[in-house]
């Protein structure tokens, strides 16, 4: 069970740092009309790379301490049949929840955005900023 917790927390931190790095990069990178561009990864890029290295070392150390843990299989590596059944049930439940939420998001968000309408105004051809 320890390997599952370590993998999930480590992967959660990795996804969070990766998301922050991409948001920072999109917000602070520049593209000019003349074709020049600059990309900035910022502090989140450094933290992402540092955590990637640290997490890799933690996983390698865990594979040395726990013989049933294999780095290639991650949290799905099992020492016996009982562990394998528990992992399969948890994985099936997780997939059902994730796909249900994705379906709700794919269909729910567009419908809600149409229902609420746009709250931003636009500039008409005459140049007046009218809220319609």
pLDDT(130) > 50:
no
For residue 33, give its domain range.
Answer: 1-102
- Segment (H or E) for 130: strand 129-130
The pLDDT score that the predictor gives to residue 124 is 47
* pLDDT of 1 above 70: no
Structurally, how many domains does the chain consist of? 1
Is pTM beyond 0.75? Reply is no
Structural domain contains residue 98: yes
Is 114 domain-assigned?
no
In this prediction, residue 106 carries a pLDDT of 85
Please report, for residues 2, 12, 51, 86, the alpha-carbon distance to residue 66 in angstroms, rounded to integers and kept in the order given: 10, 22, 22, 18
């Amino acid at each position: 069970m320890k390997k599952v917790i370590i993998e999930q927390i480590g992967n959660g931190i990795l996804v969070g740092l990766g998301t922050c790095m991409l948001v920072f990069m999109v917000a602070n990178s520049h593209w000019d009309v003349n074709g020049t561009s600059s990309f900035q990864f910022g502090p989140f890029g450094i933290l992402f790379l540092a955590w990637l290295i640290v997490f890799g070392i933690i996983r390698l150390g865990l594979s040395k301490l726990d013989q049933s843990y294999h780095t290639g299989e991650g949290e799905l590596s099992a020492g016996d049949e009982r562990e394998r059944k528990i992992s399969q049930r948890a994985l099936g439940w997780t997939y059902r929840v994730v796909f249900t939420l994705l379906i709700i998001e794919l269909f729910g968000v567009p419908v809600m955005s149409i229902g609420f309408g746009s709250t931003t105004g636009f500039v008409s051809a005459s140049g007046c900023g009218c809220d319609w």
